[in-house]
Amino acid sequence: MQPHLALLCSLLVSLPATGNPAAPNDPSGPSPKVKERLAKATPGSIVEVVRTNRERLRGRLMVLGENRIEIQHCKNRKLALQTVPLAEIRSLKVHRHGILIPEQRPVQPWALLEQTTLIPQGRAVVIRHNSKGKLTGQLGALEEAEFELRTVGGAGVTSLRYDEVRSIEVDDGGRDWLVWLIVPGAVVALGVVMAYLVPWH
């Protein structure tokens, strides 16, 4: 009995300790596509991240580190800063022009806060202020109750409270007029085509 037990022990000792094998296709970091998009992102950009646990984050990229990013976003109607390890990023999109959300009526300060977290830092905006009227400039840093509006060139900085603002819009240089001209024209053209193609009874 003892010789057999000694032989069994010697076989167990001689086996290599391999540990837990890694799961197939289990990357140790973000995918090449995510790395490529991160290389094009800069602090202040608007990003949309899906983590490996299916959590989705949208907001302003604040820190782009070697193994993590930090996103400033609106959570529970408050300004929050969340750290995301690069190894936990499943997909990532960079929105160069920001993300527009449906306008709330009546406008609430938390809704304006959420909108500013989805506009790139330095983007030209138009502000409708309760007492100061129409203001234009570049969107700056964000705080819980206020945000910065910088004049073109960054010469001056004005702090504005969310509860004193009626609306915040991206200044596209008047390109919205193209939509108003093109879309109705396309609808009329489609109506003319349908009038010839669809028989009327």
* Separation between Cα atoms, residue 154 and residue 110, nearest integer Å: 26
Instruction: Clarify whether residues 63 and 91 are in a common domain.
Output: yes
- Please say which residue of 96, 115, 145 terminates a domain: 96
Q: What is the CATH number of the domain that holds 53?
A: 2.30.30.100
**Beta pairing partners, 135:** 127
Residue 42's domain comprises 30-96
* Separation between Cα atoms, residue 118 and residue 97, nearest integer Å: 9
Mean pLDDT to the nearest integer, 11-25: 44
In total, how many domains does the chain have? 2
Mean pLDDT to the nearest integer, 188-194: 48
78 within some domain: yes
Q: Where residue 87 falls among pLDDT bands split at 50, 70, 90?
A: very high
pLDDT tens per residue across span 22-34: 334 445 678 899 9
E strand spans, 33-183: 46-51, 56-64, 68-75, 78-85, 89-95, 124-129, 133-142, 146-150, 157-161, 165-170
pLDDT of residue 82: 97
Instruction: Clarify whether residues 115 and 89 are in a common domain.
Output: no
Task: Say which DSSP state 86 is in.
Answer: G
Instruction: Clarify whether residues 48 and 122 are in a common domain.
Output: no
